[in-house]
C-alpha cells in the first residue's frame, strides 16, 4: 500500500505517451496512417462536444473521433479541420480504476483503438485482431 504514497495521478502527457506507444505497436499498414490523425488529450471533453452529443456527465466519454472515416472520404470533400482523436484523461482514469483488472496502458490502448476504428472504418473482426480487450 505504501507504493502509492507521494504519487500523483497520471497527467495528460502520460496518457499521450501511452497512446503514442499504442500507435507505434499497431501493424505496419495501420501505424503509418494512424500517425496522420491529430491526437488530443484533455481532462474532459469540451462542453460544446458534450452538448452536441447530448451527454450530461463528462465521465461518460473516454474518447472521440472527429473526422471523415477513410472508407467514406472523397476527393470532393471539403476538409475544414484534420481528423482528430480525443482522449479524455479523467474518464479514462475513472473507468480504469473501476475495472481494476487492466493496466492503464491497456485501458488507453482500448479507447484509442476503438477511436481509430472509426477513422479506418474497421470491421469488428479487424478491431478484434488488434484489440484483444474482450478475450
pLDDT attached to residue 126: 76
Distance of CA 34 to the CA centre of its chain: 12
pLDDT band at 92 (very low <50, low <70, confident <90, very high): very high
pLDDT band at 38 (very low <50, low <70, confident <90, very high): very high
pLDDT attached to residue 10: 94
Q: What is the mean pLDDT of the chain?
A: 88
pLDDT attached to residue 135: 52
Give the percent of the chain with pLDDT over 90.
Answer: 58
pLDDT attached to residue 67: 87
pLDDT attached to residue 5: 76
Q: Is residue 19 part of a domain?
A: yes
- List the domain range (segments joined by +) for residue 49: 9-68+81-130
* Over residues 49-68, mean pLDDT: 95
Cell of 22: 499504442
Q: Is residue 101 part of a domain?
A: yes
Q: Is residue 3 part of a domain?
A: no
pLDDT attached to residue 83: 92
C-alpha torsion 123→129→131→134, nearest 10? 90
Q: Is residue 48 part of a domain?
A: yes
Q: Is residue 75 part of a domain?
A: no
Q: Is residue 109 part of a domain?
A: yes
Q: Look at residue 1 and tell me whether its pLDDT is greater than 60.
A: no
pLDDT attached to residue 120: 86
Phi, psi of 67 (to 5 degrees): 155, -170
CATH number at residue 88: 3.30.2010.20
Number of domains forming the structure of the chain: 1
Q: Is residue 1 part of a domain?
A: no
Q: Is residue 121 part of a domain?
A: yes
SS3 13: helix
Torsion 21-27-28-31 (CA) sign: negative
Q: Where are the alpha helices (DSSP H) in the chain?
A: 12-24, 28-35, 47-53, 89-99, 104-120, 124-130
Q: Look at residue 28 and tell me whether its pLDDT is greater than 90.
A: no
pLDDT attached to residue 132: 65
Amino acid at each position: 500500500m505504501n507504493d502509492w504514497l507521494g504519487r500523483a495521478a497520471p497527467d495528460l502527457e502520460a496518457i499521450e505517451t501511452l497512446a503514442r506507444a499504442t500507435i507505434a505497436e499497431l501493424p505496419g499498414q495501420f501505424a503509418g496512417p494512424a500517425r496522420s490523425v491529430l491526437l488530443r488529450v484533455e481532462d474532459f471533453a469540451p462542453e460544446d462536444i458534450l452538448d452536441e452529443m447530448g451527454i450530461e456527465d463528462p465521465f461518460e466519454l473516454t474518447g472521440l473521433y472527429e473526422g471523415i472515416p477513410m472508407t467514406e472520404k472523397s476527393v470532393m470533400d471539403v476538409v475544414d479541420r484534420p481528423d482528430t482523436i480525443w482522449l479524455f484523461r479523467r474518464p479514462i482514469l475513472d473507468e480504469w480504476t473501476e475495472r481494476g483488472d487492466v493496466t492503464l496502458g491497456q485501458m488507453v490502448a482500448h479507447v484509442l483503438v476503438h477511436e481509430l476504428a472509426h477513422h479506418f472504418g474497421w470491421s469488428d473482426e479487424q478491431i478484434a485482431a488488434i484489440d484483444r480487450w474482450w478475450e
